[in-house]
Structure 1
Amino acid sequence: MKTAAVFPSPLCLAICLSLTAYGAHAQDTRHDAQTSGVHAQDLDAVRVTANPFGSTADELSRPVEVLSGERLDEVRAGSLGETVAALPGVQSSNFGPGVGRPIIRGMDGPRVAITSGGLSSQDVSTVSQDHSPAIEPFLANQIEVLKGPSTLLYGSGAIGGVVNVVDGRIAETPVDGATGRAEARWNVGDTEGQTDMFRLDAGNGGLSIHADGVYRDNGDYDTPRGRQGNSYVDAKNGGFGASLSGDWGFTGVSVSRFRDEYGNPGEPGNPAEGERGVWLQMAQDRYELKGGLNDPWGEGSGLRYSFAHTDYNHVEWEGDEPGTTFDKRANEARVEATFDFGDGWKTAFGVQGGKSQFQAVGEESFVPRTDTQAVGVFAVAKNTWGAFDADFGARLDQVKYDTATGLSPDFKPLSVSLSGGWRINPQWRLTANVDHAERAPAEEELFADGPHIATLSYEIGGNALKKEQANQAELGLQYRNRWVDAKVSAYYNRYNDFIYLVDTGNQWYFDEEDEYLPIRQWSQADAVFHGFEGEATFHLLQSERGGDWDVRLFGDTVRARLVDGGDLPRIAPGRVGAQLHWHGDAWRASLGATRTMKQDRVAVGETPTDGYTFVDAHLAYHVDAGSTAWEMFIDGNNLTNQDARVHTSFLKDDVMLPGRNGAVGVRLFF
C-alpha cells in the first residue's frame, strides 16, 4: 500500500530557495493578478479566453464562471472536478480522490468538454468513470466554466458545457524580468500527504520562457467509519514553454508530461494477506503550438491558431499483474479569425479538426479499436445597441468513426444559438439564451460490448444510435451595486434521443461460482433537464481599520427525467451554502457551510443517498517583502466529521468521502 510522505521533499525546498534568490535579484519584476496574492479581485472583470472576442465575464450573456487569484488558491484540489465543485451548478464525479470529472447542471462524461487553452485534453476520461482527466489544477492560472450548450465553439462534445484550463505555458504578451510562485502544503487530519508546486515565467520583453511542475503524494485517507483502503494518489506533472511576442502578436511552443498513479478504492484487495488492489498508472505527453496576429486586416481584427499532439497511455493493474491498457494518439488543430465590420459588429469565423486513434487491450477491452476524424466550421457575431446586446452563432461538424469490427458510422451535428442581454439600469441586467445543439454518440455508447468492471456491468453499445439533440432556453438576472453582487438563472433543456445506459434485467455469468454482472444497453429516449442556480455576495462592511466583511450565499438544483416517465440515474443532488469572509491588510479568513441534499429521485435499481453538511474554514497571512511576497495558510474541510457519499459515483455504496481533514502550507510569489 502506498505511504504518503509528511515532510517537505528536498526538491520542493530547493525550488523554493532558488526561486527566492532569483526573485530577489530579478530586475523589473512585476506581479500579475494570477500569481501575486492580490487581496481583492473582481472575477467578473477577468477576460474569458474561451470567448473569441476577449470579453469579460460580466459582458457575456451566456452563463460563465471564472476561478482565478485568491479564490482559485482557496479551492485548488487534487482533481479538476473537486476544484470547480464550489461553483453554482457544478459538481464533481468521484471514483476515489484520484478521479474527479466536472458535472455541469447534471451533465457529465462526453457531454462536458475539458479543454486546455481551448484544445481538448485528449484523455480517455469519458470512456469510463474510473479514468481521471489529464489536467493538473495546481498549474492553472485560470479556470473557466461555460455552463449549458457550448457546441458553437467546441463541438458536439460540449453539449452540456466546457471547463477550460488556462495554464499560460505559451506567453501571449511580453514578459520583462521574472515572475513566479511556489507552494508546499501538507495534509493533516484524515488525509495525510503533501503537494508541492512551482511556476516560473521569465523574459526580456520579446522572448519568454516558462517552466512549472507539481509533485503530489497522498496516502489512503480516513473516513468517519475507518480507513478507505486503496485511495492513495501519486502524481508528478510539469511542462516547459517558450514564445516570442510583441505588438504584432505572439507565437510559441510548449511540452508537458502528466504522470499519475492512483488506487481504485472500489477494489481495495486484501492488504492483510499481501493482496494489492486495483490501481491505475497514467502517462500523457503533450506538445502544443500556438500563435496569434493582432490587427492583420485592420483595427479590431485578429487571427489565432493552435495545434496539439497528444500521446496518452494508462494501465489498469490488478495487484502486481497488468490488466487492461488504454492507448490514445490524437492530433487537433484550430484556426480562428475575428473581424470588426463597423457599426458595432464583431464577428469570428473558425475551423477546428482532429484525428485520433483509441484502443484498449486486455480483459476489460469492452470498446474496440476506433479511429475518429472530426472537423467543424463555425461563425459567431456580436453587436450592441444601447442597453441591448446580442450574440448569434452556428456550427456544423462532421464526426466519422472507423472501428476494428468494421463499423464506420458518421454524423453531422448542427448547432445554432442566440443570446442577448438588456442593461435595465446600472444595477440590473437581464439575459436570455436559446440553443439548439446536437451531439454525435461517443465511442463507448456506440461500440461497447463486454464486461465493464468500473460500472459493475456488461455494457452493450447501440450501433444504431442517432444524434442527440438538445433544445435549451435560459433566463438570467444580475444585480450589482456597492453592497451586493447577485445573479440567478433558470433553464429548461429538452433532449430528443437522449443517450443513457438502461438495465435490461438480464445477467452475464462469468465463472463457475455463478458470479454475474447485470447487462446494460446504451439506448435513447426523450428527456428533460431543468433547474436553477443562484449566487449572491453581500459586502457587509468595508473599513480600513476593521477590514472587509462579506457573506456569500449560493444554491443550485437540477431535475432530470425521461419524458415517458422515470428518473435518470446518478443526477447530482441540490445544494445550498453560505460563507462568511473577512479580509484585512495582511490576514484573510473564511468560514462556510454547504448542505448537500438527499437524492431520492433515482432510476430503477439505483439506491438513494442521504444528505450531509460540510463545514469548511480557511485562514491565510500574507506578507509583502520587496519584490517577493509570502503567504502562510491553513485550510480545514468537513470539520464536523460528517458521513458523506457522492450520489453521482458508481462507488457510492462502498466509498465515503474523507472525514475531518485539512492542510497547512506556504506560498511564495515574486
Structure 2
Amino acid sequence: MHAPLRRSALFVALLTASAAAFAQDHASNHLEAKELDRVLVRATPIATTAEDLTRPVDVLAGERLDAAKAATIGETVSRVPGVQSTFFGPGVGRPVIRGFEGPRVQVLNDGLASGDVSTVSVDHAVSIEPFLADQIEVLKGPATLLYGSGAIGGAVNVVDGRVPEAATEQPLEGRAELRAATVNDERTGMVRLDGTSASGHLVFHVDALHRETGDYKIPGFAESMTAHEESEEGEEEHEEEAGAFGVLPNSALRTDSAAIGVSWVGDRGFVGVGASLFNTRYGVPGHAHEAHDEEEPEEEEAHGEAPVRVVLDQRRHEIRAGLDDLGAFESLRVKLARTEYTHTEFEGEDVGTVFDNVSTELRAELAHRALGGWAGAVGLQGSHRDFEAIGEEAFVPASTARDLGVFWLGRRDFGRVGVEFGLRRDRNRVEVDEAQAIGGDRAFSTTSLSAAARWNASPGLHFSLGLDRAQRAPSAEELYSDGFHVATGSIEVGLPTLDVETANRAELGLHWHAGPVTVQASLFHARFDDFVYLADTGVDVDELPVRAWTQADARFTGAEAEIDWLFLETEAGLWSLRMFGDVVRGRLADDGVRVRTIDVPLEDGSRELVDATFALGGPLPRIVPARAGAELRWESGAWRASLGAVRTLEQDDVAANETATPGYTLVDAHLAWHRDTIAGNAWEIFLDGRNLLDEDARVHTSPLKDLAPLPGRGVSFGVRVYF
C-alpha cells in the first residue's frame, strides 16, 4: 500500500481504538456529548439530517460556519475532512473533494448551478458569496444521481434563503457583520434582513455585502526556490526585484453582492421570486499576459508586463415554489433560475478576453409517500447554456450546451438496516461554432446507479456501505480547447473524440458516538474508465508548453477520519479536542505510453503537427497532498476560543513534467465574546489569527504555486450583530 495510505489507515485505526477505550473506561463520566447536529440537508429531495444520511455529507452552520467563512467558497470548506481548495490568488478558490475538482464538482446555490464559468479556467471565480450563507453542505462522493454528470466527484450546496420558503419567527430579524484584517488591509461589511408581514403570508429577504482588500503580505519571496533555480537571472538580481518580497503584487480584491426576494407563504406551500447580483474584481498575481505582436516590440514589452485583472459581473433571477400534502405525494418543489454572466480580463487598461455565459436551469422534485415500504422522490432537471469567449486569447470556442436528466431516489428501513437506491438518466448535447472549433457537435447519454446501506449496530454506532456507478459527459473545454491559455501559461488542446467517463466506486464508513466522543471515518476506492485529464506533453511550441486533454483508465483510493472529544468540564469551562486527517491517491491504471499527433495552433495563426507521448501509468497531475490537523477548543459562558494547526504533507508523488511541492503547517487561533441582550438581540466581538507561524505555504493544485504563496501571518477582527 502506498505510504500515505498506510499512514492514513493507521490513523483511522488509532482514532477508533483510542475512542473505544476512552468510552469503555469512562462510561460513567458525567460529561455528555453536545446535541448532535439536526440541521436538515437541503441538497437531497428527501428531508434528512446529516447524521441520518447514508451518503457522506458535512454541514457547516452556526458558529462552525462563522469560524470558517472566507472570501471564497473553496477556502471556506477547506477544513472539512476530504476537502481542500484550489488557489489562483485570493479571489479564486474552488472546492477539491477527495482529489476531484473543476467540472467534476458542482457548486450549487440552494440546489441550482451557480451559472458561472469557473470550470472553464482555473482563474475564474465562483459567483457565490460564502459570507451570506445560512449553511453549506458538502456532499462527498458521486452526486451525479441528484445533480448530473458535473457532480461525479461531489457537490457543495450553499443555502442562503434568498427566496424565502417559510415565515420568520419574528416580524423582523437578521444579522450584520463588520470585519477588518491586517494581512491585506481587508474591510468587509455585511447585512441581512428577513421579515414577515402582519398577515403572516408575505415574507421578504434583503442582503448586501461589500469587501475590499489590498495586496496581501507574504512571508518571503513571491517566487519559490524551485522557480528561482530554473530562472536565468542571478540571485542578486532576484533579491533586488521590486515588489517580489514581503507583498504579493496584483493580489487585491473587491467584491459586491446583493439580493432581494419576496414570497407568499400559505399553510401548504409557497411561491417566491428573487433577484441578485454578484460583482468582483481581482488581480491575477504571479504573471501577466504575454504580447504577440512582433511589429512593435517596445509596445509589446510594456503590454506584456501589464498586470492582469478580472472583472466578473453576474445577474440572477429565480422563481421557486413548493406545495405540501398532495395525497400520495408528500411535496412538490420547483426551481427556475436564469443567470447572465460576464467575465472580462484586462491587461493593464486594455480588454484582453471577454467571457459571456447565459444559462437557464429548471429543477422539479416530487417526493412520494411510502410505496411498498419505499419512501422516495422523482425529479426532472434541465439546463441550457450559451457560452462565448471574445478576444485574441479566447482558447475555447463559442458553444451551446443542453442537458436533460430524470432521476428517482428511494429509501427503506429493514429493522436496523436502512437501504437507499437511485437511478438517473441524462442526455447532454454540445453544439459548437464550426468556424472556431475542430470537430463537430457532440451528444452523450449517461446513466448513474447508486446503492447504499446503513447498519445501526447500536444507538451510538453505525456502519455504511456505498456502491455507485456514475458517468460524466466531457465538457466543452475538454472537447474543443484550442489555443493559448493565459491562466496556465500554456497552449491547451482539446480532444473532440472524447468518450463518456465512467466511475465505479465503493466506500465503507463508520460513525460512532459514546458519551463525549464522536468518531467518523471512511475508506473509498474508485475505478475510472476513460478518465479525462489535462496532460503535460513535454513538448514546447513558441516557447510555451503544450498541454492536451486525453483519456485513460485511472484509480482513486483514499481515507479520511475525524474525532471530536469533549474531554473536560470544569467551572472554568468546557474543553474539547478535534482531530482529522485525509489522504487520496490518484493514478493511471495501465503501463506503457501512448503516442498521439496533435494539431497545435501557432502564434502567427498557422498550425503545426507535433507528436506527443502520454504515459498510461503513474500518478495523475495535481492530486492534493495528505493532511492531518488538530484543534483545541474552550467555551465558558460568553467566551469561546480555539487553537489549531493543519499539517499539509509534501506532495512528491507527481505526474510526468510536474514538480513536487514542499509540506507546510498552518496554525490558526480564534477568540470570541458573545452577549445576549434583554431585548432578545445579541452581539459578538471576535479576533482571529491566521498562519501564525508565517509559513511559506504553496498549494500543490495551483498553477501559481511557484509564483504566489498563500497569505502570511494575519489577524482579523470585528463585530457580529444578531437581531
Which residue is equivalent to 1:303?
332
Q: In structure 1, which of residues 223, 237, 254 is the aligned counterpart of residue 257 of structure 2? A: 237
**Matched position secondary structure for 2:37:** helix
Write the deviation string for residues 268-287 of structure 1: whole angstroms up to 9, x where unpaired: 699xx996400000000000
Question: In 2, distance between residues paired with 1:610 and 1:187?
Answer: 27
Question: In 2, distance between residues paired with 1:641 and 1:632?
Answer: 25
Tell me, yes or no, if structure 1 residue 220 matches structure 2 residue 250.
no
Amino acid at match of 1:132: A
**Matched position secondary structure for 1:173:** coil
Task: Give 4+ residue runs of structure 1 displaced > 3 Å after superposition.
Answer: 40-44, 273-276
Question: In 2, distance between residues paired with 1:268 and 1:449?
Answer: 20
Contact 2:337 2:360 in 1 (8 A): yes
**Matched position secondary structure for 1:600:** coil
Which residue is equivalent to 1:19?
none
What is the aligned-residue identity percentage? Answer: 49
Which residue is equivalent to 2:673?
621
Q: In structure 2, which of residues 258, 263, 267 is the aligned counterpart of residue 247 of structure 1? A: 267
Which residue is equivalent to 1:472?
505
Which residue is equivalent to 1:634?
687
1:494-573, aligned counterparts within 5 Å? 494-509=527-542, 516-543=543-570, 545-564=571-590, 565-573=617-625
Which residue is equivalent to 1:289?
319
Q: Cα distance, 1:546 vs. partner?
A: 2.4
Write the deviation string for residues 219-244 of structure 1: whole angstroms up to 9, x where unpaired: 10111111111011101111000011
C-alpha RMSD of matched pairs (Å): 1.5
Contact 1:43 1:66 in 2 (8 A): no
1:112-511, aligned counterparts within 5 Å? 112-175=105-168, 176-188=170-182, 190-204=183-197, 205-225=200-220, 226-267=246-287, 276-298=306-328, 301-342=330-371, 344-405=373-434, 407-509=440-542
Question: In 1, distance between residues paired with 2:178 and 2:306?
Answer: 30
Amino acid at match of 1:183: E
Q: Cα distance, 1:180 vs. partner?
A: 0.3
Which residue is equivalent to 1:27?
none
Moved more, 365-374 or 496-505: 496-505
Q: Cα distance, 1:453 vs. partner?
A: 1.2
Question: In 2, distance between residues paired with 1:146 and 1:437?
Answer: 15
Distance 1:151 1:42, change over 3 A: farther
Which residue is equivalent to 2:712?
659
Q: Cα distance, 1:600 vs. partner?
A: 0.2
**Matched position secondary structure for 1:168:** coil
Amino acid at match of 1:97: P
Question: In 2, distance between residues paired with 1:228 and 1:338?
Answer: 51
Write the deviation string for residues 561-599 of structure 1: whole angstroms up to 9, x where unpaired: 000221111111010000001111100000001100000
Question: In 2, distance between residues paired with 1:41 and 1:317?
Answer: 51
Question: In 2, distance between residues paired with 1:471 and 1:251?
Answer: 39
Question: In 1, distance between residues paired with 2:589 and 2:289?
Answer: 42
Moved more, 404-413 or 75-84: 404-413
**Matched position secondary structure for 1:295:** strand
Question: In 2, distance between residues paired with 1:659 and 1:344?
Answer: 56
Distance 1:206 1:542, change over 3 A: farther
Moved more, 481-490 or 65-74: 481-490
Q: Which structure 1 segments of 5+ residues have no match?
A: 1-39, 510-515
Q: Which structure 2 segments of 5+ residues have no match?
A: 1-32, 221-245, 291-301, 591-616
Question: In 1, distance between residues paired with 2:713 and 2:267?
Answer: 51
Write the deviation string for residues 80-101 of structure 1: whole angstroms up to 9, x where unpaired: 0000001000000000001000
What is the TM-score normalised by the length of structure 1?
0.91
1:41-52, aligned counterparts within 5 Å? 44-52=37-45
Q: Cα distance, 1:41 vs. partner?
A: 7.5
Q: Cα distance, 1:108 vs. partner?
A: 0.2
Distance 1:536 1:550, change over 3 A: same
Contact 1:41 1:69 in 2 (8 A): no
Q: Cα distance, 1:490 vs. partner?
A: 0.3
Tell me, yes or no, if structure 1 residue 585 matches structure 2 residue 637.
yes
Which residue is equivalent to 2:698?
645
Q: Cα distance, 1:610 vs. partner?
A: 0.5
Write the deviation string for residues 597-650 of structure 1: whole angstroms up to 9, x where unpaired: 000001111110110111100000001112211100000011011111000000
Contact 1:183 1:666 in 2 (8 A): yes
Tell me, yes or no, if structure 1 residue 668 matches structure 2 residue 662.
no
Write the deviation string for residues 334-363 of structure 1: whole angstroms up to 9, x where unpaired: 111011135542110011001110010002
**Matched position secondary structure for 1:518:** strand
Write the deviation string for residues 291-326 of structure 1: whole angstroms up to 9, x where unpaired: 11111124x611000000000001000011000000
Contact 1:191 1:662 in 2 (8 A): no
**Matched position secondary structure for 2:582:** strand
Question: In 1, distance between residues paired with 2:702 and 2:503?
Answer: 25
Amino acid at match of 2:468: D
Question: In 2, distance between residues paired with 1:165 and 1:186?
Answer: 24
Amino acid at match of 1:554: F
- What is the number of residues matched between the two proteins? 620
Contact 1:496 1:527 in 2 (8 A): yes
Question: In 1, distance between residues paired with 2:674 and 2:266?
Answer: 33
Write the deviation string for residues 483-503 of structure 1: whole angstroms up to 9, x where unpaired: 111100000000000001122
Contact 1:108 1:160 in 2 (8 A): yes
Contact 2:538 2:657 in 1 (8 A): no
Question: In 2, distance between residues paired with 1:338 and 1:276?
Answer: 55
Contact 1:312 1:328 in 2 (8 A): yes
Question: In 2, distance between residues paired with 1:634 and 1:582?
Answer: 15
Distance 1:268 1:404, change over 3 A: closer
Write the deviation string for residues 11-60 of structure 1: whole angstroms up to 9, x where unpaired: xxxxxxxxxxxxxxxxxxxxxxxxxxxxx975632100001111000100
Q: Cα distance, 1:266 vs. partner?
A: 2.1
Q: Cα distance, 1:508 vs. partner?
A: 2.2
Which residue is equivalent to 2:238?
none
Q: Cα distance, 1:521 vs. partner?
A: 1.3
Q: In structure 2, which of residues 648, 660, 664 is the aligned counterpart of residue 596 of structure 1? A: 648
Contact 1:229 1:268 in 2 (8 A): no
Question: In 2, distance between residues paired with 1:540 and 1:244?
Answer: 47
**Matched position secondary structure for 2:126:** coil
Q: Cα distance, 1:194 vs. partner?
A: 1.1
Question: In 1, distance between residues paired with 2:512 and 2:191?
Answer: 38
